[in-house]
């Protein structure tokens, strides 16, 4: 880490303060606001204002909202807030925050009705996906091309992963990366985007670490670990893997192990004539 040069090893990060932008979601919100970057509107009782200010927040964004721990991970302790009664419960929790819901709220109506009736053994909200934008920043301020994926979720776990192109998200991510560099940060960085109710892209969180999609990205052409080693320890001449061009269009399904599929094979499986010929 840049601020602790006497450590017996090296951590792939710059100034420690930049890590709080990922570890603390209230700091994330303030960081995005400082640099004029789009982020899900956020409200913390006692920080953003009092109850009256929260009422104005609800009037602006409506229900449902999202409530989450300020310092949380893996979607643990995250709730849909559908009413004032739900919000009042969160008021009694420590270190929680509210965010606008990004996405089509109407698509959740059936799910909410299900939850109000008989309690299912397992529950999964529909239409849950985000776009993940990832790169690795080197200590010299250079960074790898932005890797953008669509991540589909089941019960908080990514089960579908596809590389996509999106110029708007690429430009927004580059602005974020440059802001992190200004603050003295480097290392791996991922930002999750969704469209708000008006179709505008907004970030909902960032992380600054390798993660569960490190291997799929490696398979499809972005070697996070190689890039980190090359940037932090340039004298080692650590090799960086370059995937074949055809790998960049793979679809990856994730259960206990990553399952790699060619798009044309999926198309073939969806084609009735394929089954007729081989039946």
- Count how many residues are written for the chain: 279
CA distance readout (Å), 237 to 13, 134, 231, 234, 243: 19, 23, 10, 6, 19
Percentage of residues in the chain with pLDDT exceeding 70?
85
pLDDT of residue 276: 47
Average pLDDT score, the chain: 86
The whole-angstrom separation of Cα 97 and Cα 93 is: 10
State which H helix or E strand residue 104 sits in. none
Which helix H or strand E contains 274, and what residues bound it?
Answer: helix 272-278
Q: Which residue has the higher pLDDT, 73 or 112?
A: 112
Q: Report d(CA 102, CA 129) in Å as an integer.
A: 10
Which pLDDT band, with edges at 50, 70 and 90, does 268 fall under? low
C-alpha pair distances (Å), 129 with each of 163, 188, 208: 13, 22, 20
Could you give phi then psi for residue 28, rounded to 5 degrees? -60, -50
What fold does the segment set 16-38+126-274 form as a domain? D-amino Acid Aminotransferase; Chain A, domain 1 (3.30.470)
pLDDT digit string (tens) for 121-137? Answer: 777 787 789 999 999 99
d(CA 208, CA 9): 19
pLDDT at 100: 97
Domains in the chain: boundaries: 16-38+126-274, 41-101
Cis peptide before 64 (omega within 30 of 0): yes
Task: Tell me how far apart the alpha carbons of residues 151 and 263 are, in angstroms, rounded to a whole number.
Answer: 16
pLDDT tens column, 108-165: 888 888 888 777 777 778 778 999 999 999 999 999 999 999 998 776 667 788 899 9
Of 74-78, 206-210, 251-255, least confident by mean pLDDT is 251-255
Task: Please indicate whether the domains covering 16-38+126-274 and 41-101 agree at the CATH topology level.
Answer: no
CA distance 111 to 125: 6
Cα three-residue angle 159-128-165, rounded to 5 degrees: 75
Q: pLDDT class for 259, splitting at 50, 70, 90? A: low
Q: State which fold the 41-101 domain adopts.
A: Dna Ligase; domain 1 (3.30.1490)
Nearest to 145 by CA among 204, 217, 213: 217
Whole-model pTM? 0.84
């Amino acid at each position: 880490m840049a601020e602790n040069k006497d450590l017996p090893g090296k951590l792939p990060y710059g100034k420690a303060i930049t890590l709080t932008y990922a570890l603390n979601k209230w700091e994330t919100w303030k960081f995005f606001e400082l640099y004029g970057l789009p982020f899900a509107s956020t409200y913390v009782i006692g920080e953003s204002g009092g109850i009256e200010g929260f009422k104005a927040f609800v009037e602006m964004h409506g229900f449902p909202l999202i409530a989450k721990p300020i310092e949380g991970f893996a979607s643990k302790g995250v709730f849909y807030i559908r009413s004032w009664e739900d919000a009042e419960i969160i008021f009694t929790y420590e270190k929680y925050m509210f965010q606008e819901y990004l996405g089509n709220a109407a698509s959740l109506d059936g799910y909410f009705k299900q939850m109000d009736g008989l309690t299912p053994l397992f529950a999964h909200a529909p239409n849950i996906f985000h776009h993940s934008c990832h790169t690795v920043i080197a200590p010299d301020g250079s960074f790898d091309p932005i890797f953008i994926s669509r991540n589909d979720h089941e019960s908080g776990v990514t089960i579908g992963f596809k590389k996509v192109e999106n110029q708007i998200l690429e430009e927004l991510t580059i602005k974020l990366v440059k802001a992190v560099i200004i603050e003295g940060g480097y290392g791996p960085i991922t930002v999750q985007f969704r469209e708000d109710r008006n179709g505008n892209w907004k970030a909902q969180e960032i992380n600054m670490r390798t993660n569960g999609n490190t291997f799929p990205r490696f398979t499809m052409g972005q070697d996070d670990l190689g890039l980190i080693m090359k940037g932090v320890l340039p004298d080692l001449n650590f090799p960086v893997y370059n995937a074949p061009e055809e790998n960049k269009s793979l679809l990856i399904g994730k259960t206990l192990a990553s399952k790699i599929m060619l798009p044309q094979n999926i198309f073939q499986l969806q084609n009735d004539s394929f089954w007729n010929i081989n039946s």
